[in-house]
Every structure is written in C-alpha cells, then in structure tokens.
Amino acid sequence: MNLIVDAGNTYVKVAVFQGDKMLSHESFEKKLFQKKIEKLLKTHAEIDQMITSSVTTFSDDTKQFIANLDLKVHKLTHKTKVPFQNNYATPETLGVDRIALVVAAVAQYPKTNVLVIDAGTCITYDFKTSDEIYLGGGISPGIQLRYKTLNLLTANLPLLEPKVPENYIGNTTESAIHSGVTIGVITEIDGIIERYKGQFEHLTVILTGGDTNFLAKRLKNTIFANSKFLLQGLNTILEYNRYND
C-alpha cells in the first residue's frame, strides 16, 4: 500500500493507494503534516512505502520525522527513474510536479500525444509524444497570481475574487480586471491547445490543478478534467520504482 505526499508552499495533498486504486485523499496545511501522517499510518497499517514530491523544502523537524518512519521513502527528483524519455534541455530544473504529470499521461494515455495543463498557482503546459518522449511545454501565471499581481504591483487596482464577466468588454475597473484575467486565461489556454493541435495529430488534452472546475466548462476545446492527475502520477512513479530500483 502506498502513501503519496505532494507538498506545496502552504498546503499538502496526500493520498493512499492500493495498487492503482485511490482509497483516500485529503489536503491540509503544512503545519499539520506530522499529525496527519501519523493518523493515516494508524488507519492504514498496510502502508509500506511512501513518495514525497515537494516544490518547497520541508522543515528540519519534518525531514527528521520522515526519516524516522518505518517505511521505504522515495523522494522524487529529476534523477528518479521514470517511464518516458526526457528531452528537456535542463532536466535538473524541471519541477517534480511536472515530472509526475507526464508519468500520469504515459500511464493513462500510452502511445498518445498528450498535453497536460496544470492550472494552479502557475499554469504549466507539458507535452509528451505518442513515442513517450517528453518535449517540454510552458509556464505562465495562474488565475490567483494574476489577480494578486495586479493588486500588489499597482497603486489603485483592487484584489478581486475570480469571476468571468458577462461581457468581455469591461466597462468598470472591476469588470475590466475580471475580463483581463479570466477571459485572458481562457483565451490563452484555448490558443495554446490550438497550436499543439496544429502540430500534433490526435491530441489528448488533460486539465488538472486547483482551478480545474473553474475552467473546465469554459474552454471551447475538448479536454479531460482530472484534479487527481498529479497524485495518480506520483503513485505510478512509486510503483514503477518498486520494481526498478
């Protein structure tokens, strides 16, 4: 049984898998890490291995806590064995979250051209070919980041909650911000999908990340929405390395 840990800057997502079946998942603040993991290990005594993926660093106390666990612990890095050919020019700078997303694409959509769009703090685009070769993709600011940047880096623009305006022509400052951010993101994503479709036949597009529900029904292109895609990719990596260490 596998324990999957995806740690962000503030929140941690965890999941428990039996083979490829997700038994449970939850999200909590980083400060609750030890308490939550201890509870999970008591609830699922059969857990024998764990993978950690982090875009930030754990505290020394948390690192020691993980080191003391009676589990086989795998820390995901760019050196981890994965079931695809990585053609990224600087693999040491490739985010571990993006590695996990590509692995999920390989596992769930083999021999298929796949573009994975992760709409979170940043919007990342990751593409793997039908030959299971990762070519790279793109990174742009996410929805919340765009709203916050407009507020923080200007003198008079307010901080707003995401909303798609009724008219793309904003006739107030607030509606103009909503238009620029939300319609801008939707147009960006649709436009990038069209570029990939123009170059690669039979393209499958996966949308994941925190803003999946907000965006999924607003995109004109056909996409498959899966908010658990990264966790599934991490589990696949753990299973792959169970037999390939």
The reply, when asked if residue 120 is annotated as ligand binding, is: no
The reply, when asked if residue 9 is annotated as ligand binding, is: yes
The reply, when asked if residue 107 is annotated as ligand binding, is: no
Q: For 154, left (φ over 0), alpha (ψ -120 to 50), or beta?
A: beta
The reply, when asked if residue 173 is annotated as ligand binding, is: yes
78, exposed or middle or buried, with CB in 10 Å at 0-12, 13-18, 19+? middle
Contact in structure between 170 and 178 (CB atoms under 8 Å)? yes
d(CA 206, CA 221): 11
Active site residue 97: yes
d(CA 195, CA 101): 20
The reply, when asked if residue 13 is annotated as ligand binding, is: yes
The reply, when asked if residue 96 is annotated as ligand binding, is: yes
Catalytic residue from among 48, 97, 131, 245: 97
DSSP at 219: -
The reply, when asked if residue 103 is annotated as ligand binding, is: no
27: nearest Cα among 240, 230, 214, 223: 230
The reply, when asked if residue 10 is annotated as ligand binding, is: yes
109: nearest Cα among 202, 235, 18: 202
Contact in structure between 234 and 53 (CB atoms under 8 Å)? yes
Angle at 103 between CA 195 and CA 120, to 5 degrees: 60
The reply, when asked if residue 48 is annotated as ligand binding, is: no
The reply, when asked if residue 97 is annotated as ligand binding, is: yes
The reply, when asked if residue 12 is annotated as ligand binding, is: yes
Known binding-site residues for K(+) equal 118
Known binding-site residues equal 6-13, 88, 95-98, 118, 121, 173
Known binding-site residues for ATP equal 6-13, 121
Residues annotated as catalytic are: 97
Known binding-site residues for substrate equal 88, 95-98, 173
